[in-house]
Amino acid sequence: MSHELSRRQVLKLVSYVSAGTAAVGSVPLISRFFTDRANAQTTTFVRENIYAFMQSPQKVAALRRGVQVMKSRSANNPTSWAYQANMHGTTTRPLLTAWNTCDHGTFFFFPWHRMYLYFFERILRQASGDPTLALPYWNYSDVEAQRVLPEPFRIPADEVANSLYESDRTGNINVNGGAALPATIVAYASAFRRTNFFHTTTGSSFGGRRVSQTGHASSGKGELERRPHDQVHVSIGGLMGNPVTAAQDPIFWLHHANIDRLWERWLRQGGGRVNPTDDLDWMNDTFTFFDENSNAVQMSGRQVLDTATQLNYMYDDPLSASNNSVASSSPSTDINSQRTGASTPQEISISASEQQVTFVLGDTPLTLTASSQDLLARRVLVENSIVTLNVTGVEYEQENPTSYDIYINLPQGATPNPNSPYYAGILSLFSLPQKGTFSLDITDVVSDLQKRNQLGGSITVTFVAPPKRVPSPNRIRQTRPTQPRGVVRFSGVTITRQ
C-alpha cells in the first residue's frame, strides 16, 4: 500500500518536471536520479586512439574547447584545469582538498590514476559542451608512426590559439618538433612479463610494492610505472618531466589513458595476471576526487575493477591481444609475490671500498664490480631466494629527473640493449624521493644468467644514461635551450639474497 503510494508520488513529481514546474525542492534531485540511471544503462564511452580521434575535426574542436574552458576557470574551482593539475602535484600553498595526492611508487599507482582520469574526463566532457566526448589515448606503444606527439598537441604551436599546445616540453626528445619517442623508451614487454600485480618488498612486479597506505612518492615502482610511464614523462620533459607540474600539460591525460589501457591489456594476457582483489587495503583505501558539479567524491579500488560496468567507459581495442613480444619469455621464472626465502639476508657489496665514496652518474656508462673473493658472488642465486639490487644514498636534482638503465654482467664492448638478458631494470628518478635507497628485484636476471653460465666469479653492475636529445629536422621553434642533465650521485651498490 505505502509502496503504491510512493510510486504514485514519484510519477507525479516527474510529471511536474516535464511540465516545467521546478518549484518543489525535491524535484530536481529525482529527475537527476532518473537521468543518471538512463545514462548508466545506455552510454558506454569509448576512449579512442588519438590517431583515429583526430581524423574528426569536430572531436578535436570539442577536446580543445573543454581544455580551454577548464583553463579559464579559477584555481580554487575544483573543475578548473589548475585545480585538477594541483591534485596531482603542486608547490602552491596552502594546499586545498585533495591537492598533492597522486600515488607513485606503490601498488595504488594504477587505481589512483584510473580514478583521477575518470573524474577529469567527466569534468572535461561537461566543459566541452559535447555530451559524447571521451578522452582519447596516445598509443605510443604499438605503432611506430604513432610515437610522434599527435599533431593537435603541437600544431599550431601557440598556447593561446591551441589549448592543447604546451611550449614547455623540453626533455631529451624534441616532441614538439615532431621527433618520435624511441622504442626503448616505450617498451612494455618486460612489464608484461611480470605475472604478479604487486611485490611485498620491492617494486618488482607489474603494479608496484604492496603497502597498507597510499604513498605520494615512494620507491616501490612497478615495472610499467618505470617504463614506459616514467620514461615518457622524462622524455617529453618540461612540465611533464616533474610530477609537481606534469598534469598541467594536456598530453598528460592521453599518456595516462594509455597507461590505463595497458593495465587492461596486461590482465588480458592471463597466465595468472589478476588484480589484487584479496588485498583489503588495495580494495578499500579511499581517495578523494571531484565530479563535474564540484562535489567531493570518495572512491576506492573495488569501484574501478571493471571500467565498462563500473565506470561506463572502455577502450576501442577491447579484444585485441598485445603484439609486444610477451610470449617470447619464460613466465615460469617470473617471481611471485608469495615467494618467501631463507630468513637470513646475505649481502654483497659491489665495488666495496673502506672509504666513503660517491659515485656520479654521467653520460658515459659506469660499471662497478663485486670482488671475486666474495663467496656469495660466485653463486648469487640459490633455490627459492630473492635477489635484490640496492643503490644506496641516491641523490639528484629535482629540477631535472632522469633515469639510468641497469645491466648485470654486460659483456665488455656489448651495446646495451634493454631486450638483452643483461638488462635488470631502470633507476627511474621521476617522482622518487630525493634521497634514499633504490631497490630492484633482480632474481629473474641472475637466474637467467646463471642458467646460461654467464654468472662467473664476479658480478658487474653497469649504469647507462638515456639517449641525448636529438634535434629534429622539422622543428617548429626553439622553446628554450635544453637544460643540462641533472647530476645523480649515490654512495654504493649492494646485492642482497634472502
- Interface residues with ligand C2O (CB under 6 A) are 88, 102, 104, 113, 229, 233, 243, 246, 256
Give the residue with the Cβ less far from ligand C2O, 102 or 410. 102
DSSP state of 485: P
Q: Which is nearer to ligand C2O, 108 or 490 (CB)?
A: 108
CA-to-CA distance for 336 and 320, rounded, in angstroms?
26
Three cell numbers at 129? 559542451
Residue (225 or 334) nearer to ligand C2O, CB: 225
- Torsion over CA: 218, 221, 225, 231 (sign): positive
Residue with smaller CB distance to ligand C2O, 64 or 88? 88
Contact assessment for residue 253 and residue 116, using Cβ atoms and an 8 Å cutoff: no
Q: How far apart are CA 198 and CA 223, in angstroms?
A: 10
Nearer to ligand C2O, 217 or 446 (CB): 217
Least separation, in Å, of the C-beta of 414 and ligand C2O? 32
Task: Kindly state the smallest distance separating residue 305's Cβ from ligand C2O, in Å.
Answer: 20
How would you class 213 by CB atoms within 10 Å of its CB: exposed for 0-12, middle for 13-18, buried for 19 or more?
Answer: exposed
Residue 125 Cβ vs ligand C2O, minimum distance, rounded to whole Å: 21
Distance of closest approach, residue 93 Cβ to ligand C2O, in angstroms: 20
Tally the C-alpha atoms within 13 A of residue 196's C-alpha that lie toward its C-beta.
22
Strands 286-290 and 296-300: antiparallel
Pinpoint the alpha helices (H) of 188-316: 189-193, 223-224, 231-236, 251-268, 280-284, 307-311
* DSSP H or E segment with residue 288: strand 286-290
Which residue blocks in 174-311 are alpha helix, DSSP H? 183-186, 189-193, 223-224, 231-236, 251-268, 280-284, 307-311
- Burial of residue 29, with CB atoms counted within 10 A of its CB: 0-12 exposed, 13-18 middle, 19 or more buried: exposed
Q: What's the min distance (Å) between Cβ of 225 and ligand C2O? A: 8
CB of 221 to ligand C2O, least distance (A): 11
Q: HSE, CB side, 13 Å, CA atoms: give it for residue 31.
A: 17
Nearest residue (CB) to ligand C2O, 246 versus 429: 246
CB 265 → ligand C2O: shortest distance, Å?
A: 18
Which of 290/407 has CB closer to ligand C2O?
A: 290
Could you give the CA distance from residue 61 to residue 464 in angstroms, rounded to a whole number?
42
**Nearest residue to the partner ligand C2O, using Cβ:** 102
Smallest CA-to-CA distance from 444 within 497, 498, 386 is with: 386
Radius of gyration, CA atoms only, the chain: 25
Closer by beta carbon to ligand C2O, 383 or else 399? 399
Residue with smaller CB distance to ligand C2O, 103 or 405:
103
Report the nearest approach of ligand C2O to the CB of residue 119 (Å).
14
CB of 477 to ligand C2O, least distance (A): 26
State the distance between the two ends of the chain, measured CA to CA, in whole angstroms.
68
Shortest distance, CB of residue 220 to ligand C2O, whole angstroms?
15
H helices of 323-391, in order, are 375-378
Quick one: 232 or 311, whose CB is closer to ligand C2O? Answer: 232
Q: CB of 109: closest distance to ligand C2O in angstroms?
A: 7
Nearer to ligand C2O, 236 or 406 (CB): 236
Residue 432 burial (10 A CB sphere; 0-12, 13-18, 19+):
buried
Beta bridge partners of 298: 288
Per-residue cell: 447: 637466474
Report the C-alpha gap between 234 and 170 in whole angstroms. 9
Which of 241, 252, 255 lies closest to 483 in space, CA to CA? 241
Which residue lies nearer to ligand C2O by CB, 47 or 233?
233
Min dist. Cβ of residue 243 to ligand C2O (A): 6
